[in-house]
Amino acid sequence: MTMTGEEKPHVVRQMVDAWNATDREGIVSLSAPGGVLHGVTQEPLRGREAIRERLSPPAEGLVHPGLQIQAMDVVDGRVFLQCRDVFDAP
């Protein structure tokens, strides 16, 4: 099933909500089987298993940042997202 440009931002918002809830399986389940997840400082992740592996629980003592969407747009069928990491004060 192909999503429309209007549906894709909704799914991305669900993924950000899953990230903020530390719901790794939620993120994976919202990813397309052959989907690609790009990050600024890392190589693209291709497919659900690669995404699941990268999202494995962080080492003890590491902080899981929340994400706050700053801007989002769909260009040529791809969703571009600008986020800000949000850390809770200790």
pLDDT at residue number 89? 55
Per-residue DSSP letter, 62: -
Q: Which domain holds residue 37?
A: 7-56+64-86
- In this structure, is residue 13 part of a structural domain? yes
- CATH code of residue 50: 3.10.450.50
**Mean pLDDT across 69-75:** 94
Overall number of domains in the chain: 1
- In this structure, is residue 15 part of a structural domain? yes
Alpha-carbon span 53 to 74, nearest angstrom = 27
- In this structure, is residue 74 part of a structural domain? yes
Residue 47, helix vs strand vs coil? coil
Beta bridge partners of 86: 66
- In this structure, is residue 1 part of a structural domain? no
Beta bridge partners of 71: 82
Is pLDDT at 14 greater than 90 in this prediction? yes
φ and ψ of 84, to 5 deg:
-120, 130
As given in the structure block, the two tokens for residue 25 are 């399986």
Is pLDDT at 61 greater than 70 in this prediction? no
- In this structure, is residue 2 part of a structural domain? no
